[in-house]
Structure formats: C-alpha cells, structure tokens
C-alpha cells in the first residue's frame, strides 16, 4: 500500500515538475526586458500640436483665425532664445542635463512631504516629466499617474536628445489664456514674434507656466511682474546675468498689447469654412464615398470628414481666398443701412467673372458668425431672374433668333396652366427685347414651350444647382416655379457665364491652401464648360443691358462701360431679386424674409436695386 502510494506521489510530482518546466519554457520564450517593454507600451510618435490656421484675403492679409481648440505656433529649436532655455532649466529643473527623466532626490523629498501631509501635494516634476504629462494629457494628482509619468519621461530620455526635449517643452507648455508655446504667448500678450521680444519680456513670459492661474498677466499682472524679478535674481545668483543687466531688465516697463483674435468679415469666413470642407471632401475621396454609400455608411464618412477637416485646421494651414475687403465692407454697409428700418432680411454675393472667384458675400442684415447664411444656405423661388438661364438663353441658342424676333405677349394656356403677365394685361406681339426687359410672363412660357422643357432644363444642368429635381420639369419653371428653388450664390454663379463669353466655371472663394512653409497642399481643379455660343451670349448681354437701360432695373442704372441685369419677383411678393454684371463683376442681391410673407408694401422701394447699384457704383 505504501509502495503504491509512493508511486502515485512520485507520478504526481513528475507531472507537476513537467508542468512547471513547460510554463517556465513558455515564459522564457516570451521574456521581454524592461526597456523593451517600455518601448512597446510608450509610443513616442511626433505630437501634433494644435496650431492656429488663417484665412487670407486677396492681398494676402489675414482676416480670420481658426483656433482648434488651442492657440499654438511651433518654433524650431534655433528660433527659441537661449536665455529662455536657461531660465526654464534654472527654475524648473536644475539637474535637467544630468538626470534620465526623473530626479530621485526630488522625488524622495516630495514623498516625505506628501506622507507628512497625508495627501498628494508636491510633484517633483522634471522638465521631461512635465512634457510627458502634457503628452499623456493626464493631470490628476495620484501616485498611479505619477508612476506612469516617470516611466514615460524615462522613455522620452532614451529616445530624444536633451535639446529636443527642451524644445518640445517650450513649444507645448501652457501660458494661460488658451495659449500654448512661447511663440503663441509672444503674439498673444505682446503682439510680437518671439524674435522681437526684449529679454525682459522673455523672462516675463517665462514667469507664467509655473502657475498659469496665479501668474496670468491679464488678470494678475503684478504677480507676474514680481515673479519675473525673482527669475532675474535667480539668473544673477547662478552667474548667468550681471547685476547691471539685471537692474536694466527689472526697470524696463512691461506693456501688454494683448492680441485680439482676428475675426473680420464673418459672412465670408463662414462660407470659406464650408467651402473648405467641400474641398477636403473632394480631394480626399470622401465625396465619392458618400455618393456610393447607404445612410449608415454616409454618417460614418461624415464623421471621418469632420475629423480630417479638424486635423488640417490643427496643422496650421493658410487658406488663401479671393475676398476683396473694401468691396465686402461696401456690401455689408449697403445692406445694413438700406434695410436698417425695415423688417426684412437680405443677402449679397459678388464674383469676379473672369477669374471665377467669389470676392464678396453677405449672409444677412447684422450678420454674426455661424448664423444662418442667406447667401448660400437659403433656397428660394427665383422668380423672373431664372428667365435668362432657362428660357431666353436656350431659346436663342436653339433657334438662332435675334432679340428683335417677335413673340406673343397675350394670355396663354396649356392644359390647366394659365399664367398671366404681372400687370394682368395683354401686350400683343412684342420683340424678345421688349418681353425680356419688361419681364412679361406669357412670352417666357411660350418660348420655353417652343424650345421644349427637357431642352431648356439641359442648360441648367451645366450649372451647380443643388436642388433641381424631375418634379421641376414644368412650364411653371419658366417663371421661377420650383419645388425647392435656388440660392443666391448659385444664381449669381450662373450669371457669370454672360460676362465670360458664354463659358461657365464654378466660382470659388478659396484660391489655394498652403502649409506653414508656403507649400500648396490643396486647391480646386475646376475647368470651364461652354454654355452659350458667341452670338447667343452677346444677345443675352444685350437683353440684360436693355433691362437696366430702359426696363425693370432702370433705377439701378449708373455710368459704366457695360451694365446689365435681371430682376425677379416671386408670387405673393415673397422674394425680390436683382442679379447683374459689369465688364468685371457679377453681383446678386436678394431681399425677403426667412419665413416667406407677402412684402408688397415694400415692392415700390426697389431695395434690391438700391443695394445692387450702391455696391457696383462704388
């Protein structure tokens, strides 16, 4: 029995040893050294600092800044003043060039203090640890976080040089007021670059990061100044500065010149951001993916596009636009002043027809950034302003008739559709020019009926109208009857064709997008398409000119080498339009209310013509 029991025990021991040996073998195979483990767990990819992006007008001047979500501008190491590096090392981490990411002596001292206080009070953070903390985005006061910070700092020291660590630290440290890095701080507090700062100003800024709340210059200037003087004294004690220079630096009067965020022309900048998103969608393939996706996938693609746009903004890009600031100011002032005492809204769009650019854009009366922008977000019935694009242009192009061709301006019916002229009168037989400049309705419907609805709409397909559907293919469209309608931007864009020899190319606000080094990274690649042949385009320009000279837009006339345009009024007086051009510019104006109501009481004032004339005549 004992012998049998011995065999069993021996067998069990053998099995146990075998299992232990097997597990040991596996562990040996999977063994990873501590440094290698740190390398696996701590990924030191280049940190993307949220830089400021800029919108530039046609002359290259910044008119708007985009912070997402912080204000930061990266400086190369050689651009960072030596005195700034010295003061940070001296005051934040005197053993910076000696330790391997953490200071054992300082940590021990902090542990004793914290144990005595029975809570986490002292941090004993080196410059490398502070950099690690910023990269980890972990700021809670716990021993667990502190341990992770130390390990992260240790790995940083193994991978990066002291020079790089200090440079990264100075570029990412917090300077209060949503400002990160020395260059952003210099521009925010003094409206200068770091290179333009005096030594006294540099030390003044170096005082902030130690306690950004206490040493915030905007709210606690005296505290910041006191710390600046203590830092200067510290430089003297450590033989980095002479007593004489120290006295001069302390005496220097520090005058803040807090930089206000540049945010001019909100109407235009709002549109530029929307167009930028469209540009990114097209160039990065999101648009194509959306076109071939179901609703669930579209939502995913939209989110990816949002992230892509934000990443580009954070990279510190420069968006070059066609904005003409003087014209923008004229347009905004004209709209606001003309409509100041009238309970209506309005919008303006202006384009350089030769360069296919949007040079001015007003989103509404007293517009504020990110409000509903009526220039491109409002889709309204175009009234008679659609006639040049859908009726007269197609008719002349298809039939090769001149503007002296006669047409019946009496009552018209086709089936149950019986439109009337605005006045309710019949005008007999008139020329195309007379019918056009006086905006008679029945001739327009007759002409569209003659050319064919499908043929007429084939011309609209060459433009960028977003909301035309098969339901719109009716004779009522000849007078502006659409299910959704058009935006002022779309209408003005289509009219540029008349000023560009019958060629159409979609007008853009964005000329190009460059990185901080000036390299182009994005730009539109649009090409022009022919819409009207030369005789048709000239005939249309003659019709538009006649409308201003002696037709419905006559009150907008002023001396000009060329002036042409078309008015539009919708049923029940909901909308008033004026779109027209000179030799260089195409301007569109819309007047109405966000919720359509009858505005016959202001019709006689011809507000849209006043604004149009006011802008172009200047």
Whole-angstrom distance, CA of residue 257 vs CA of residue 316: 23
Mean pLDDT, residues 25-52 taken together: 51
Mean pLDDT, residues 350-379 taken together: 97
Going by pLDDT thresholds of 50, 70 and 90, the confidence category of residue 73 is confident
What percentage of the chain carries pLDDT values higher than 70? 85
What integer pLDDT is reported at residue 120 of this predicted model? 33
Mean pLDDT, residues 459-481 taken together: 97
Strands (E), 90-214: 179-180
- C-beta atoms surrounding 214 within 10 Å: 14
pLDDT in tens, 170-219: 998 899 988 889 998 999 999 999 999 999 999 999 999 999 999 999 99
Choose the weakest-confidence range: 6-20, 183-197, 211-225, 469-483.
6-20
Going by pLDDT thresholds of 50, 70 and 90, the confidence category of residue 74 is confident
Give φ, ψ of 406 to 5 degrees. -90, 150
What integer pLDDT is reported at residue 111 of this predicted model? 47
- Among 64, 334, 384, 487, the one annotated catalytic: 384
Choose the weakest-confidence range: 41-50, 68-77, 213-222, 436-445.
41-50
- C-beta atoms surrounding 418 within 10 Å: 11
pLDDT in tens, 485-539: 999 999 999 999 999 999 999 999 999 999 988 999 999 999 999 999 999 999 9
Residue 335: is its pLDDT beyond 90?
yes
Mean pLDDT, residues 9-25 taken together: 46
DSSP 325-380: HHHHHHHHHHHHHHTTTSS-EEEEEEEETTTTEEEEEE-STT--TTS--TTTS--B
Interaxial angle between packed helices 243-251 and 199-206, expressed in degrees from 0 to 180 and rounded to the nearest 10: 80
Mean pLDDT, residues 83-105 taken together: 84
Going by pLDDT thresholds of 50, 70 and 90, the confidence category of residue 69 is low
What integer pLDDT is reported at residue 291 of this predicted model? 86
Question: Does residue 25 or residue 401 have the better pLDDT?
Answer: 401
**Cα distances (angstroms) measured from residue 237 to each of 50, 106, 127, 242, 248:** 37, 21, 21, 9, 16
Residue tagged 């100044």 (tokens): 225
Going by pLDDT thresholds of 50, 70 and 90, the confidence category of residue 147 is low
Going by pLDDT thresholds of 50, 70 and 90, the confidence category of residue 18 is very low
Contacts of 604 (CB under 8 A, 6+ apart): none
Contact (CB, 8 A) for 204 and 251: no
Residue 104: is its pLDDT beyond 60?
no
Percent helix, strand, coil in the chain, to 5, is: 50, 10, 40
Asked about 92 being catalytic, the answer comes back as yes
Going by pLDDT thresholds of 50, 70 and 90, the confidence category of residue 99 is confident
> Please, what is the Cα angle at 107 between 40 and 182, to 5 degrees?
75
What integer pLDDT is reported at residue 260 of this predicted model? 80
Going by pLDDT thresholds of 50, 70 and 90, the confidence category of residue 362 is very high
* CB-facing half-sphere around the CA of 152: CA atoms within 13 A: 24
Asked about 384 being catalytic, the answer comes back as yes
What integer pLDDT is reported at residue 105 of this predicted model? 57
Going by pLDDT thresholds of 50, 70 and 90, the confidence category of residue 68 is low
Which pTM value belongs to this model? 0.76
Give 390's DSSP letter: I
Residue 410: is its pLDDT beyond 90?
yes
Tokens at residue 79, please? 């651009």
DSSP 413-428: -BTTB----TTS----
Contacts of 608 (CB under 8 A, 6+ apart): 346, 567, 576, 577, 578, 589, 590, 591
- C-beta atoms surrounding 417 within 10 Å: 13
Question: Does residue 100 or residue 264 have the better pLDDT?
Answer: 264
Contact (CB, 8 A) for 362 and 347: yes
- Among 58, 65, 86, 92, the one annotated catalytic: 92
pLDDT in tens, 20-31: 444 444 444 444
What integer pLDDT is reported at residue 26 of this predicted model? 46
Mean pLDDT, the chain, integer? 88
Give φ, ψ of 445 to 5 degrees. -65, -40
Residue 65: is its pLDDT beyond 60?
yes
Residue 148: is its pLDDT beyond 80?
no
What integer pLDDT is reported at residue 585 of this predicted model? 97
What integer pLDDT is reported at residue 531 of this predicted model? 98
pLDDT in tens, 252-310: 999 999 978 889 999 999 999 999 999 999 999 998 888 888 888 888 999 999 999 99
* CB-facing half-sphere around the CA of 148: CA atoms within 13 A: 15
Q: If we measure between CA atoms, which residue out of 364, 355, 281 comes closest to residue 320? A: 355
Mean pLDDT, residues 340-351 taken together: 97
Give φ, ψ of 323 to 5 degrees. -55, 130
Tokens at residue 315, please? 């990279």
**Cα distances (angstroms) measured from residue 315 to each of 53, 68, 333, 414, 548:** 7, 10, 35, 60, 49
Question: Does residue 256 or residue 99 have the better pLDDT?
Answer: 256
Residue 8: is its pLDDT beyond 90?
no
What integer pLDDT is reported at residue 549 of this predicted model? 97
Question: Does residue 556 or residue 37 have the better pLDDT?
Answer: 556
What integer pLDDT is reported at residue 608 of this predicted model? 98
What integer pLDDT is reported at residue 460 of this predicted model? 97
pLDDT in tens, 586-607: 999 999 999 999 999 999 999 9
* CB-facing half-sphere around the CA of 126: CA atoms within 13 A: 28
Strands (E), 440-551: 503-504, 510-514, 520-522, 529-530
What integer pLDDT is reported at residue 508 of this predicted model? 98
Q: If we measure between CA atoms, which residue out of 85, 103, 91 comes closest to residue 163? A: 85
SS3 232: helix
Question: Does residue 72 or residue 536 have the better pLDDT?
Answer: 536
- Residue 431: burial class (beta carbons within 10 Å; 0-12, 13-18, 19+): middle
């Amino acid at each position: 029995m004992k012998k049998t029991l011995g065999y069993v025990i021996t067998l069990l021991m053998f099995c146990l040893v075998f299992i232990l040996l097997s597990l040991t073998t596996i562990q040996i195979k999977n063994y990873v050294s501590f440094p290698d483990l740190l390398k696996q767990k701590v990924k030191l990819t280049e940190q993307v600092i949220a830089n400021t992006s800029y919108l530039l007008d046609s002359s290259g001047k910044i008119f708007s800044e985009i912070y997402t979500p912080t204000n930061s501008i990266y400086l190369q190491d050689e651009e960072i003043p030596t005195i700034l590096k010295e003061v940070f090392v001296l005051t934040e981490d005197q053993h910076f060039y000696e330790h391997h990411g953490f200071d054992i002596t300082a940590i021990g001292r902090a542990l004793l203090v914290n144990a005595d206080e029975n809570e986490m009070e002292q941090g004993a953070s080196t410059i490398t640890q502070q950099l690690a903390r910023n990269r980890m985005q972990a700021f809670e006061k716990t021993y667990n976080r502190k341990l992770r910070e130390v390990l992260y700092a240790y790995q940083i020291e193994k991978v990066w040089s002291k020079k790089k660590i200090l440079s990264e630290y100075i570029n990412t440290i917090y300077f209060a007021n949503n400002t990160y890095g020395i260059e952003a701080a210099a521009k925010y507090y003094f409206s200068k670059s770091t290179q333009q700062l005096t030594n006294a100003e540099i030390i003044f800024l170096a005082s902030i990061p130690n306690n950004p709340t206490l040493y915030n210059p905007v709210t606690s200037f005296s505290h910041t100044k006191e710390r600046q003087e203590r830092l200067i004294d510290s430089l003297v004690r450590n033989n980095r500065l002479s007593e004489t220079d120290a006295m001069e630096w302390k005496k220097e009067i520090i005058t803040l010149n807090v930089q206000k965020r540049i945010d001019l022309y909100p109407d235009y900048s709002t549109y530029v951001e929307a167009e930028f998103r469209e540009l990114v969608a097209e160039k990065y393939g999101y648009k194509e993916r959306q076109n071939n996706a179901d609703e669930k996938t579209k939502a995913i693609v939209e989110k990816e596009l949002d992230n892509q746009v934000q990443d580009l903004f954070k990279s510190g890009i420069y968006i070059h636009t066609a904005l003409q600031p003087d014209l923008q100011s004229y347009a905004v002032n004209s709209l606001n002043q003309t409509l100041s005492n009238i309970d209506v809204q309005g919008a303006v769009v202006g384009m350089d027809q030769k360069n296919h650019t949007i040079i001015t854009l007003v989103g509404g009366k007293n517009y504020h950034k990110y409000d509903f922008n009526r220039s491109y977000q409002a889709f309204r019935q175009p009234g008679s302003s659609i006639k040049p694009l859908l009726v007269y242009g197609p008719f002349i192009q298809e039939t090769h008739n001149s503007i002296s061709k006669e047409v019946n301006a009496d009552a018209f019916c086709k089936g149950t559709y019986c439109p009337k002229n605005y006045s309710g009168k019949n005008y007999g037989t008139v020329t195309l020019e007379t019918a056009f400049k006086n905006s008679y309705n029945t001739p327009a419907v007759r002409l569209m009926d003659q050319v064919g609805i499908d043929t007429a709409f084939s011309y609209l397909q060459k433009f960028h109208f977003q909301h035309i559907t098969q339901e719109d293919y009716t004779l009522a469209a000849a007078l502006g009857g659409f299910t959704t309608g058009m935006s002022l931007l779309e209408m003005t864009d289509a009219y540029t064709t008349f000023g560009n020899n019958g060629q159409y190319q979609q007008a853009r606000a964005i000329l190009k997008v460059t990185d901080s080094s000036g390299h182009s990274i994005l730009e539109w690649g649009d090409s022009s398409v022919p819409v009207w042949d030369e005789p048709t385009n000239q005939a249309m320009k003659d019709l538009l000119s006649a409308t201003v000279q002696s037709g419905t837009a006559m009150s907008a006339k002023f001396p000009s080498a060329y002036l042409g345009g078309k008015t539009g009024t919708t049923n029940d007086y909901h909308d008033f339009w004026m779109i027209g051009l000179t030799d260089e510019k195409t301007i569109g104006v819309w007047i109405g209310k966000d919720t359509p109501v009858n505005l016959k009481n202001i019709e006689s004032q011809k507000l849209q013509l006043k604004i149009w004339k006011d802008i172009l005549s200047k």
